[in-house]
Structures are given as C-alpha cells and as structure tokens.
Chains A and B, each alone.
Chain A
C-alpha cells in the first residue's frame, strides 16, 4: 500500500479562519478606540493646565480671574483614600481569610458571602447617603461634613471588593501547600500567614489596587460626606476636598479656565492611579526574585 496523502486545508476552512481572526482583531480594535480617545483627550485638554503652581496652590473659588490650583483636592484624595484603604484592607482580608481558611462550608460563611455580594452591587451613592444620614446629619464627632466621614463611605465601598478578590485568590492557593505546612506541624494561623498569604500576595495586591482605583475615582460618596472646599485640610474632622469632587464642581462651570482645571485634575487622578499600579508591580517583581 502506498502512503496516504493528507488532504490540504479546504478553501472553506481557510475562509472561515480568516474571517474569525479578522473578527476578533476588529473587536479588539473597537475596544481600544474609546480607551485611546479618553487618554488622548485627557492629555490634550489636561496637559495645558499642568504646572508646578497647579499642584502647590489651593483652588481660589473665584469665577473670574485666577482659579488657583488643585492642591487641596490632591491632598484630600490621598488622605481619604489612604485612611479608607488602611481600614478596608485589613478588615476585608480578615473576612476573606476567615471565609476560606476557617469558615469554609459553614452556614455563616454562606450568609457572609451572600451579603458581600449584595454589598458589591450597592451603588456608591447609597454608601454616601448612609454615611450622610448616620454620621453627617447626626453631627458625629462634632462636625457635619468631614474627611473621615468621606473615608468611611469609601471604606464601605472598598470592603466588598477587597474581600471578594482576596477570597478568590486564596481559594486558588493549592491545598497541597496547606497540607505540606500542616504535616510539618505548623499551626493553622502560621500556615495562613507564612504559606497561604505569601503565595496569594500578587493576587491580593491586584485586588487591593482595584479597590483603591475604584475608591479614588468615586464622586458620589464624597459629595455629601466630605463636601467640596477650597482650602487644604489635614485634619480628618474638617471638610476635605477631593479630585473627583473638584472635577464634578468645575466641569459644569461656564468658565473655560475652570473646565481646564477639571481636565488637569482628571489627568492627575489617572496619573496617580497609574503610578500606584506601576509601583505595586515593581514591588511584586522584586519580591518574587528574592
């Protein structure tokens, strides 16, 4: 018997293949268009506003004349998001560790997971409203609007994001590693801290960054918790400005200089989040090499 010749790829399959490849390439392009446009407009409209003075002066609030810079908003955003992160990350991580390592399969764990899912879906303005009613109107701490109340709203918003993402990553840690640690005589908590968490760390950091980026860009929960002010505040019991709130306030003004400030602030916000992401990547890479 002579060798059987293999048939060449049929013309039809070749056509279908080309069509499919072209299709996904096109869709990728479509998805990239708005992204590129956003970045382009941000740079085009915002770069003009950027100067050293832009970051070193507070907004003046003047409709005519010198509008000032965005110092108070940058400081406010960093402080409020920082405080919210400091609260939400340990708590969220704790919940995730409990869900995966200790409460796995229990009724309480199911209930907790369900409530976290519900919380993830709650619109951010609802968190703002909640804080407004419970903390602002009630004048807790002797203030009405205050930075820490804004942080509270942001922390509530971040909590389910941190928990859910950390839980998913912790579940991905192979059970073989936990068994290896237990078999060595490691107690549970040490297994969690020395084996499970380090293994899951890159994923946890990604989740935390996602939550920070989300919180840093939120306007609604801050508008009626921390308010919009011009002066830089370092006291958490004072009203605090923030980048999203400043953008919200300025972009609606019938005054080009104020709109430009808003674009500059938007560019600043994006750049800050980008730098944070890059920093985290850098730290991650370094730690993996050691």
Chain B
C-alpha cells in the first residue's frame, strides 16, 4: 500500500464526522474500527456522486450522461425496466464495468471527493472501499464459511482474526446460524444464507459503500425479507446503492429512489414521492405497472 491512491479512497477513522471538503489521506487501515470502537453501531459512511457518467458495451452506448448522487448512510434504489442500465451504473461505481471485454466508461464517480476514475487511480484500491453483492450468491466453493468471510481481507493482504469474521457475520445477521459450523463449506448453506454470507464477506473489508445488484432476485420470499431487514441495519455504517426490479422492494427498503430508462435518469427523489407523486409521466407509468 505504498502508492497514494488507496489512501485517497479511505475514509478517516475518527468517530467524529469529518467535513467532506477537507479530505486527508489517512493510515491505510482504520485502527479504531478494528478494536472495541468497531462495535459502535453508527458510522458516517461516504457519499457517492456520479457525474456525467457514460458507459459503453462495445458500440452500444448504455449509460448516457448520467448525473446522480447517493446520500451517505442512506439506501438508494435504482429502478427501471430491463436494459435501462441499473446494473451498469452500479458496476461503474466500483469500476467492475471495465472487467467486461469491450466495455468502457467515462465521466466522474466521486466517493466523497475522491474520483474513482481519476488519473492513476488503482482499481484495486477503489474496490477495497466499495463492497459489492451480486445477483446470485457466489461464495467461494473451496472455502469454509470462515474463510469466505476472511477472503476479502486475505485477498488484499491483510490479517484476519476471529473477531473480524464474527463482526462481519453478525453484521450480516448470519452469526447465530453458522457460529457452530464455521469450518463447514460456504456452499453448504441455503441460498439465502449464502447471500448473507456474501454480504458478510463484503462487510468484512469495512467498505464505505455497499453496492447491491438485485441481491434478492434469486431468493425465496423469507430470505428476501431478511435481506431487506438487513439493508435497514447496514445503513448505519455504509451507504447503500441497491438495484432492484421489484418496486415493492424499492418502496420497502430505499430512502431515495432513482428511475432509469434507456440509460438516462428520468427522475430521482424520496422514495415515497417517487411512488406516490412522481413528476415525470414515464415514472408514473412505470411505478403503476403500465410498462416495464
């Protein structure tokens, strides 16, 4: 961690809120969070601001000049019909978009005021600050439950203790269910548990932002409910961007909702307003089920 980029993306450790404008690089690991203070349930997360984002898949221009911001410690839902670019936006925030052959993106994505697409920024550092949960649960099949949670820290050359794993599993509401079988394979869990394991894995690296790409779409209603309750909990420590095709879900979990159509932002606002009193007729048609 000798290069300055990772530091630039790391949030200050101090429990006091930091003025967002004066962002100072700090020690690489947040010691306060690893100790007793880590049990503090509230933590100021960082805001995400997307400015004039454009993304392409080969020739296909799938995100067009999108500007959108996500408030810290809030859950923001991205809704829209298939192909509207919800997942792409999320994948642009942690620069996973560029992993797809032929895909590229341009514009600015600010985590507080550090640009993820800034010159010389290490993508690896970006992803360490931004956690991600995928549509289908994807625990590492060769690893135990414990090792799965520890993997994020181990893959980024950091030491892992039992406490780190327990904290992450508690954070994902899975601890009581797995505490007696931490050495068992992660893929032996049910689908819903696997998804919470993946959330624990993402939380273990203590990100500032958690991106959730349709995290419950492969799960049964009860598991879905658990994930939704979890989102409420997680907001206390991270900023959440959740993609969903389920409008009831958006209404249940999100503070703010953004409606996307064909790669453009139609409307964004408080969830309640978007669902009850949208200002754009297309939003109204979508949320009332007339299309999409």
A residues near B (Cβ < 8 Å) are: 104-105, 174, 176-177, 179-187, 190-191, 194-195, 198-199, 201, 290
Q: What 0/1 readout, one digit per residue, does chain B (90-134) give for beta carbons within 8 Å of chain A?
A: 000010100101000000000000000000000011111001101
How many residues on the B side are at the interface (Cβ–Cβ under 8 A)?
Answer: 29
Beyond known contacts A185-B152, A195-B142: 8 more, CB 8 A cutoff: A176-B138, A179-B138, A180-B140, A184-B201, A184-B205, A185-B205, A190-B155, A290-B144
User: In the complex, A179 Cα to B97 Cα: how many Å?
Assistant: 10
Please name 15 pairs of A and B residues whose Cβ atoms are closer than 8 Å in the assembled complex, sorted by A: A104-B101, A174-B138, A176-B134, A180-B140, A184-B127, A184-B128, A184-B152, A185-B126, A185-B152, A185-B155, A185-B156, A186-B124, A194-B151, A199-B141, A201-B142
Residues of A within 8 A of B205 (CB): 184-185
SS class of chain B's interface: helix, strand, loop or mixed?
mixed
Residues of B within 8 A of A201 (CB): 142
Tell me how far the C-beta of A205 lies from the nearest C-beta in chain B, rounded to whole angstroms. Answer: 13
Tell me how far the C-beta of B91 lies from the nearest C-beta in chain A, rounded to whole angstroms. Answer: 9
User: By the criterion CB–CB under 8 Å, are B142 and A182 in contact?
Assistant: no
User: In the complex, A104 Cα to B102 Cα: how many Å?
Assistant: 12
User: In the complex, A194 Cα to B150 Cα: how many Å?
Assistant: 12
Tell me how far the C-beta of B208 lies from the nearest C-beta in chain A, rounded to whole angstroms. Answer: 13
Decide yes or no whether B179 CB sits under 8 A from chain A: no
Decide yes or no whether B154 CB sits under 8 A from chain A: yes
Decide yes or no whether B198 CB sits under 8 A from chain A: yes
User: By the criterion CB–CB under 8 Å, are B198 and A182 in contact?
Assistant: no
Residues of B within 8 A of A176 (CB): 134, 136, 138
Decide yes or no whether B202 CB sits under 8 A from chain A: yes
Residues of A within 8 A of B202 (CB): 183-184
User: In the complex, A194 Cα to B140 Cα: how many Å?
Assistant: 10
User: By the criterion CB–CB under 8 Å, are A186 and B156 in contact?
Assistant: yes
User: By the criterion CB–CB under 8 Å, are A183 and B136 in contact?
Assistant: no
User: By the criterion CB–CB under 8 Å, are B155 and A199 in contact?
Assistant: no
Tell me how far the C-beta of A195 lies from the nearest C-beta in chain B, rounded to whole angstroms. Answer: 6
Among A105, A184, A290, the residue within 8 A (CB) of B151 is A184
User: By the criterion CB–CB under 8 Å, are A185 and B141 in contact?
Assistant: no
Tell me how far the C-beta of B145 lies from the nearest C-beta in chain A, rounded to whole angstroms. Answer: 13
User: By the criterion CB–CB under 8 Å, are A185 and B140 in contact?
Assistant: no
For A193, the closest partner residue in chain B by CB is B155
User: By the criterion CB–CB under 8 Å, are A195 and B140 in contact?
Assistant: yes
